[in-house]
Amino acid sequence: MKLLLTAGFPRSYHTLALAELLRRRGDEVAGVIVVSVLNLRRARVLLRQRGTRFFATALRRMMGRSPSRAQASSVDPLSAFLKEHCIRPMTLKTWAREHGATYQAVSDINDRRALDLIEGTAPDAVLYGGGGILHEDFLTAARGRVLNAHSGPLPEIRGMNACEWSVLLGLRTVVTIHRIDRGIDTGATILTRAVNPEPEGSLDDLRLRCAVEGVRGLLQATSDLPENWVERPGHHARSRQCFIMAPAVRELTELRLKAQRTRILDD
Amino acid sequence: MTQKSEVPRAASQAEPDCVKDSGVLPSIDRYAHHHKAAVGWLRRSVDHGRGGSCAYYLPLVGWSDPYPETTGYLIPTLLRIGARTDALGDPTVASLADDMGRWLLSIQNENGSWNADLHPPRKAPRPSVFNTGQIVKGLVALHRAQREEEWLSSAVRAVAWLREGMTTEGLWPAGDYRLGGTPSYYTEVLWPMLDVWAETGDERIRASVESALHVILRRACPNGEIQGWGFEPGRPAFTHTIAYTLRGLQECAHRLDAWDTVRESVVPALDVLLRRGELQAGRLPGAFSEEWRADSSYVCLTGNAQLALCLLILHAREPDLRLVNGAARLIDLVCSYQRLSHPLAGMRGGISGSAPLYGAYMRFRYPNWAAKYFCDAIQMLVDTLDRERSG
């Protein structure tokens, strides 16, 4: 299968893992579209949405470290996954150069150059690994075949910090592989994969485990041609969208995770 | 002039993954810190208020005259703080509420109303519907706390005056300082009228309120807006008066057991504001024109705190922690602008009308109602978090 990948930053290790595992499986990764973080407009939007804490995270990511390594347990699930599959950490640009894939850096995921790459390569599907909200033109260029690994159950948890919201709202922690459509996480569902919290893991660990499960889920979904995907139809937004958690609400979520872990251990 | 908080760890910048072993959320400690500073500011506003609470502090000029309207609705806030036994409590402020109530009784007009503007009025005194309504909130709170008849009888006289001014269509043709029609945020007058109905059982009050409420509910638009929720028709509405309108509707619905009727006028608007606030990390635009066109050049901090309250009240009725998250983001933004230490006592712990300070709402001023709603919002958020934590 011919595939295109997107990423929200050059050292996106879950996108790297996905690209490498697809290549090893014999799929063609025709290109990677990466949204540059060194762009004033994006920085302004992210600062407005996520506050100053975002920049600490972004800096860690740019240096190739996990988002909250300092707070995560000693074994970072994403790094462990890379190690397990003998994938050398590198930038997506390096990976693309080494394997003859097109690397397209853009300042906006909906940039004309991104659309040209999709139209030029005509992939069977685009696998979304981040980069921002996709506009109609992007979805049209990809013939509606854009898959996302969403870290929460749908339609219950739409939006950001999905795995954290799953914990807080007492829902099962899963990764949902779904098509991206014009709504926020309203597209047809292809499959779901359960993610169980580790006995000692923090919320950051759980988030990274969701990222790993998302890679596995996208690999599973793309093991078959899009024509053969068995889909549960999309839905209208029935519940409020989730957004980035406020510090106080995140603390409450940590407490609920702790209680959930205790229950699992007791069982 | 920068306004950023000097708190070592403002709520908006907190490291979240550090829940104490005792299960106490660190954010609650931070909120208590901000709350204490605001209560200190309110106390100073009363110290300078010659019986009431000063309307605002204006840097380089000083404290204003006392404002009967906001002195009135500050009373329930102070009574709640006085009654709390947790970190947000301060038993010494309850006596301030009593003193303020007595001052309000001393300046009540013969006909039961109170005048517009600060006290003493600089222009010819004009009885005010809205201000009278807000003062009634304080009197009812004092009556409920102390069970002394003088508070209720004053409130009953005030509500009788309010009812006399209502037309058969249910609203007030006069008594607003704009001298125009009745704005939709007068739902905040209907709410205290219902409190007096609850205390006296006078069904005429309930009937008057219900007909007025129906007039305002008919102003709801399909996109969630409610016509006439700004200070002036055709001008952008501050989030302050938008929140007044919505809160008034919520409180009336609660008292009349009429949520099913009111819900469709409140929830769509709150959902729009929730989303706007979340997308901007709590930096809700200060005002909205028709079709939700936003003026994002400033934040109306009072409106932020008031809307946080509306979201928390909605959560209490229809539990959804996404609402609590939105409220926390709005409050965190206000916290980030509160100065916890400052050589000028009028700025220390106060909440400015706008952020930045030169924004259109209460330009350069620190109004007492901003501090009041900030305290109310923190109290309700902390109570909600506590319930969720132990529940």
What tens digit of pLDDT does each residue of B288-319 get? 999 999 999 999 999 999 999 999 999 999 99
Nearest Cα residue to A126 out of A109, A144, A113? A144
Least reliable range by pLDDT among A40-54, A210-224, B328-342: A40-54
For residue A203, the chain B residues in CB contact (below 8 A) are: 17
Please indicate if any CB of chain A lies within 8 Å of the CB of B278: yes
In whole angstroms, give the CA distance from residue B239 to residue B20. Answer: 36
B329 closest CB neighbour out of A246, A252, A258: A246
In whole angstroms, give the CA distance from residue A221 to residue A212. Answer: 14
Question: B320 Cβ partners below 8 Å, 6+ apart?
Answer: A239, A240, B314
- Chosen for mutation from A52, A161, A207, A252 (greatest number of chain B CBs closer than 10 Å) is A252
Least reliable range by pLDDT among A238-242, B29-33, B282-286, B384-388: A238-242
Q: Which residue has the higher pLDDT, B213 or B180?
A: B213
Nearest Cα residue to A227 out of A183, A190, A182? A190
Q: Are the beta carbons of B330 and B390 closer than 8 angstroms?
A: no
Residue A68 has pLDDT above 80, yes or no: no
For residue A202, the chain B residues in CB contact (below 8 A) are: 17
Question: What is the H or E stretch that residue B157 is in?
Answer: helix B149-164
The pLDDT assigned to B1 comes to 39
The pLDDT assigned to B209 comes to 97
Nearest Cα residue to B165 out of B141, B122, B133, B201? B133
The pLDDT assigned to B49 comes to 97
Residue B165 has pLDDT above 90, yes or no: yes
For residue B17, the chain A residues in CB contact (below 8 A) are: 68, 71, 202-204, 250-251, 254
Distance from CA of A238 to the nearest CA of B (A): 13
First to last CA, chain A: 43
Distance from CA of A99 to the nearest CA of B (A): 38
Residue A244 has pLDDT above 60, yes or no: yes
In whole angstroms, give the CA distance from residue A182 to residue B343. Answer: 53
Task: Compute the CA torsion angle A27, A31, A32, A38 (nearest 10 deg).
Answer: 170
Chain B residue whose CA is closest to A157: B322
The pLDDT assigned to B316 comes to 98
In whole angstroms, give the CA distance from residue B335 to residue B7. Answer: 9
Please indicate if any CB of chain A lies within 8 Å of the CB of B304: no
Residue A37 has pLDDT above 90, yes or no: no
Please indicate if any CB of chain A lies within 8 Å of the CB of B26: yes
Question: What is the H or E stretch that residue B367 is in?
Answer: strand B366-367
Q: Are the beta carbons of B219 and B184 closer than 8 angstroms?
A: yes
The pLDDT assigned to A42 comes to 65
pLDDT in tens, B110-120: 999 999 999 99
Q: Kindly state the DSSP code that residue B13 receives in the 8-state scheme.
A: G
From chain A, which residues contact B within 8 Å (Cβ)? 48-53, 68, 71, 165, 168-169, 202-204, 239-252, 254-255, 258
Tokens representing A19? 């690209």
Distance from CA of B344 to the nearest CA of A (A): 28
pLDDT in tens, B2-16: 344 444 344 444 444
Please indicate if any CB of chain A lies within 8 Å of the CB of B332: yes
The pLDDT assigned to B277 comes to 97
In whole angstroms, give the CA distance from residue A30 to residue A123. Answer: 7
In whole angstroms, give the CA distance from residue A79 to residue A208. Answer: 9
- Chosen for mutation from A249, A253, A255 (greatest number of chain B CBs closer than 10 Å) is A249
A252 closest CB neighbour out of B15, B323, B388: B388
How far is the CA of B275 from the CAs of A241, B195, B326, in angstroms?
A: 8, 32, 8
The pLDDT assigned to B16 comes to 41
Q: Which residue has the higher pLDDT, A228 or A264?
A: A228
Question: B97 Cβ partners below 8 Å, 6+ apart?
Answer: B74, B75, B78, B79, B82, B138, B141, B142, B145
Percent residues over pLDDT 70 in chain B: 93
Angle at A140 between CA A136 and CA A143, to 5 degrees: 140
pLDDT in tens, B130-158: 999 999 999 999 999 999 999 999 999 99
The pLDDT assigned to A62 comes to 62
A247-266 and B368-390 helices, crossing angle to 10°? 10
Q: Would the CB atoms of A250 and B17 count as touching at under 8 Å? A: yes
